Chains A and B, each alone.
Chain A
């Protein structure tokens, strides 16, 4: 076909034009189909993001809002603090500790979710096929209730006059109530509860596809139970484990409601701190800059994910 168009140009030319027309139609259709998603993305994601980016480089207004004056002060203030009286510069310990707490709490939550989620997913994946649906259904039940209600329920459980402390004191294990509410423990517990299904479901999806004859082959080749888990099951469940970890880590690090309710006022995470800057703090540019920092953290997490996944595929090809 290509050779023909080259040697006998006149008769083949109309066909070429028809081809080009069809191609043009294809391209137009593709854009039409993409349009709704593109519109939503532009107005709901790209636009606001640009606004936040621009705000982070502006002067803060005295009563909130921004003054249209370029400055990198907000970005500077993410890590450094300027003394109000003599202008000396020091590390912004508060900001760094909040960033650090967000990172470490999100990380601990992810690890805990993995520890609790992997056996759960394995349990479901090894049930008979007709009962798996029921177990999965049970996993998704918490999604039926509003996040705030579930968080308040946890608060009821762990507060000083809550069920756990009442029982513990009732059986005489402790004379004083154990302070659980308004601690990092409470935040972790809340996030673990809320995000656990996001860990279980992807791991289940990858374990469900696992050919259990490979497990048998592992035993046949002298691997004991632990070695089969470590060398056969986990590597094959790796895509699910990575996906689940990312799905838990990202909402954990940006979590807002859980630290607000269970962490009280003082144990802030970066989400609360950003909200504070736009509210009482009246420092919109700093809030905007912190938002960008949070997004960068999420991006890094996603990058690690993409690396891990494509690295695996490259090795396969």
Chain B
């Protein structure tokens, strides 16, 4: 965050706000060269020609397009256009840079490259980036703080770990990563709290984990739970499907209650899979893996 951020912007027209945007469509001016595009904001704010040229050159170097200054946007590839759009938005040294799904038009390989590039640019310039994305992986790997929005409202703000490990809403838990949802009623019994599941069974919860009394949903990440032979406690279920991913195996279960449940286990034992389709299993959910949701 830049130092002087206490300016009220609501009353200012867009062209007076110290914020620049990288548009989803890039919105590069087709009638101007790459260098003229990058220098546009500087020209509008009245930066002297000599300084403007120097800063444009610096920006071109920053996005590694030094040789392309005199080309037109239409002569560049998608990735290069993306970098020009970035350089153009950064040239005026905004306090905040908005990136509106900037990578959605690129193919996977280019997207990965640009993610690293954006990280580098952010560190080098020290400007706050607000990065809008629908890609949960992008959100997790690139940000320091994530705000998950649904229907125009921010549901949760937090670090990637907070968002992933402690989602507060069903939408947040569902949006980032795979999740199991279990519904029931919270009961208080002497030393601890537990969730009595609707279809039978009980999940121990952490103390003071929040959540209302009455109907409650918990979110459980598939990789946080253990699978064992039945009779060891936990929730009983049956294996419905086994999907092998190489590094790990996903077991799709049906719990006693009939609710579906997914468990992911690392393949530490090589190709031997401890459970097959139709096997009865017990699911052990550690208290800190059960995240009580607010809705």
The stretch of A69-77, A110-118, A212-220, A285-293 in contact with B is: A212-220
A219 with B14: in contact, given A227-B44, A316-B74 (CB under 8 Å)?
yes
The count of A-to-B residue pairs whose CB atoms sit within 8 angstroms is 58
Interchain CA distance A230-B31 in the complex, whole Å = 12
Chain B: minimal CB distance from A206 (Å): 12
Q: Are B30 and A221 in contact (CB under 8 A)?
A: no
A-B contact pairs, 10 of them (CB 8 A): A214-B29, A217-B21, A217-B28, A219-B13, A220-B89, A221-B20, A222-B15, A222-B16, A222-B44, A223-B44
Q: Restricting to B5-37, which residues have a CB under 8 Å from any CB of A? A: 13-16, 19-21, 23, 25, 27-31
Secondary structure call for the A interface = helix
* Given A216-B23, A220-B23, A221-B41, 16 further pairs, Cβ under 8 A: A211-B25, A211-B27, A214-B30, A216-B14, A217-B27, A219-B14, A220-B14, A220-B19, A220-B20, A221-B92, A222-B41, A222-B44, A231-B40, A235-B31, A236-B30, A316-B72
B45 in the interface (beta carbon within 8 A): yes
Interchain CA distance A236-B31 in the complex, whole Å = 7
Q: B55-96 toward A: CB 8 Å interface, digit per residue (1/0)?
A: 000000000000000001010000000000000110010000
Q: Restricting to A219-240, which residues have a CB under 8 Å from any CB of B? A: 219-224, 227, 231-232, 235-236, 238
Given the complex, which residues of A lie within 8 Å of B41, measured CB to CB?
221-222
Q: How large is the interface on A (under 10, 10 to 19, 20 to 34, 35 or more residues)?
A: 20 to 34
Chain A: minimal CB distance from B51 (Å): 15
Residues of B participating in the A interface, judged by any CB pair closer than 8 Å: 13-16, 19-21, 23, 25, 27-31, 40-41, 44-45, 72, 74, 88-89, 92
Q: Are A213 and B27 in contact (CB under 8 A)?
A: yes
Residue of B nearest to A221 (CB): B41
A222 with B92: in contact, given A227-B44, A232-B29 (CB under 8 Å)?
yes
Residue of B nearest to A213 (CB): B27
Q: Within the complex, which residue of B21, B25, B28 is in contact with A220, where a contact is CB–CB below 8 Å?
A: B21
Q: Identify the interface centre among A213, A216, A221, A227: most chain B CB within 10 Å of its CB.
A: A221
Given the complex, which residues of B lie within 8 Å of A217, measured CB to CB?
21, 23, 27-29
Q: A231-266 toward B: CB 8 Å interface, digit per residue (1/0)?
A: 110011010000000000000000000000000000
